[in-house]
Amino acid sequence: MLRWGVLGTAGIARSQVVPAIQGSSNGRVTAVASRDPGRSTEFAAAFGIDNVFASYEALLASPDVDAVYIPLPNAMHAEWAIRAADAGKAVLCEKPMALSAAEARRVADYFAAGNVPLMEGFMYRFHPQNVHALKLVRDGAVGDIREVRAHLSVDIMANAAGNVRFDKALGGGSLLDMGCYAVSAARRILGEPFAAMASFDLDPATGIDLAATAILEFPDGRVALISSSFKGSGQGFYQIIGTKGVIDVPRAFIPGLGSRVAEGLVIASDPDGRRSETIFEPANHYRLMAEAFTDAVLSGEPVPYPPEDAVNNMRALDAIAASALSGRRVEI
């Protein structure tokens, strides 16, 4: 069993990741740290966590913690990942791993130098529906892939007050919070883009992007259409357009909401409109991610998705932001 520590009591830790680890076959959360003793004590009681630390530093110093999950605000990811590496702790870090490609590069190199496992927490990649969609692509089910359209939105405008997603200094904005998923999905299918053209719906009060739209250019004339929003209706999907058909994954990033885990679905259509649907049993992709990461740490094998993937995702996100703010096409 891998012994996990959690830095902070963020909503994603409470609603998804900690329950997933506690229900996993190979790990348990044994420690939590928070700067609010009351919150950490309540959190620990809710999830049967034995050890409560008054500071992140104290948790990292514990010899009874093997790995750390970091669900802190975006701007704190790189700093605390590096501190965890100094303590020799394997790290599963919430996305994005850093606020820029340069910062992500520094984190990745730091972990490589210390031979410490590190992975960015894109859970959707472990859901059977997304594994299946990628297999269809690689098997040539819809021919040569020409375009990917990916979108994620959740309407959180009514809950903006006090929400870190609306704090520019903490790495807020829809692109880093939600657009990173869409970029990841496109790169997973098409490889690495070489240019971006984008626009933002900027909030004049906070300076963050409330919505982002981008075109990513890939070799051989292939493209990805990317969008994210804090104003949308909670939709997360991607569509893969090939020369011989289309693959749709209608609930790619949020197959279930809250504690509910819904069925997965992949739809393949041919040029004549004939459809085939593959339905997957409900699966907790957070648990699958935690188990895969844990297996790698316990066995000494490489993590399923190396830190280099996080660096490349940030390179695309940097270019999107630069294009949106300048109004110009930006090469990556």
Is 95 marked active-site? Answer: yes
- What integer is the mean pLDDT of 11-35? 96
Distances (CA, A) of 324 to 155, 197, 208, 301, 310: 21, 7, 12, 39, 21
- Residue % of the chain over a pLDDT of 70: 98
Let me know: does 159 contact 322? Beta carbons within 8 Å. Answer: no
Helical H segments across the chain, by residue range? 11-12, 18-22, 37-47, 56-61, 77-86, 101-114, 128-138, 174, 180-190, 285-299, 307-326
Radius of gyration of the chain from its Cα atoms, rounded to whole angstroms: 20
pLDDT band at 262 (very low <50, low <70, confident <90, very high): low
Angle at which helices 101-114 and 77-86 pack, to 10 degrees? 10
**Structural domains present in the chain:** 2-121 (3.40.50.720), 124-287+314-331 (3.30.360.10)
Number of H helices, E strands in the chain: 11, 15
The residue type at 279: I
DSSP 262-320: PPEEEEEE-TT--EEEEEE----HHHHHHHHHHHHHHHTPPPSS-HHHHHHHHHHHHHH
For the chain, the straight-line distance linking the first and the last C-alpha, in angstroms and rounded, comes to: 41
pLDDT band at 12 (very low <50, low <70, confident <90, very high): very high
Tokens (6 digits) for 6 = 């959690």
Global pTM exceeds 0.85: yes
Cis status, amide bond into 96, omega within 30 of 0: yes
Tokens (6 digits) for 278 = 């593959």
CA distance 124 to 102: 25
- Among residues 89, 95, 168, 244, the one annotated as catalytic is 95
**Residues 101, 127, 182, CA angle at the centre, nearest 5°?**
35
- What integer is the mean pLDDT of 304-313? 98
Let me know: does 95 contact 120? Beta carbons within 8 Å. Answer: yes
State residue 282's pLDDT score. Answer: 87
Distances (CA, A) of 67 to 89, 292, 293: 5, 13, 10
| Residue 145 three-state SS | strand
Burial string for 311-323 (b: 16+ CB within 10 Å, else e) reads bbbbbbbbbbbbb
Instruction: Please tell me which residue, 263 or 229, carries the higher pLDDT value.
Output: 229
pLDDT band at 257 (very low <50, low <70, confident <90, very high): low
Summarize pLDDT for 109-126 with one digit per residue, the tens. Answer: 999 999 999 999 999 999
- What integer is the mean pLDDT of 130-152? 97
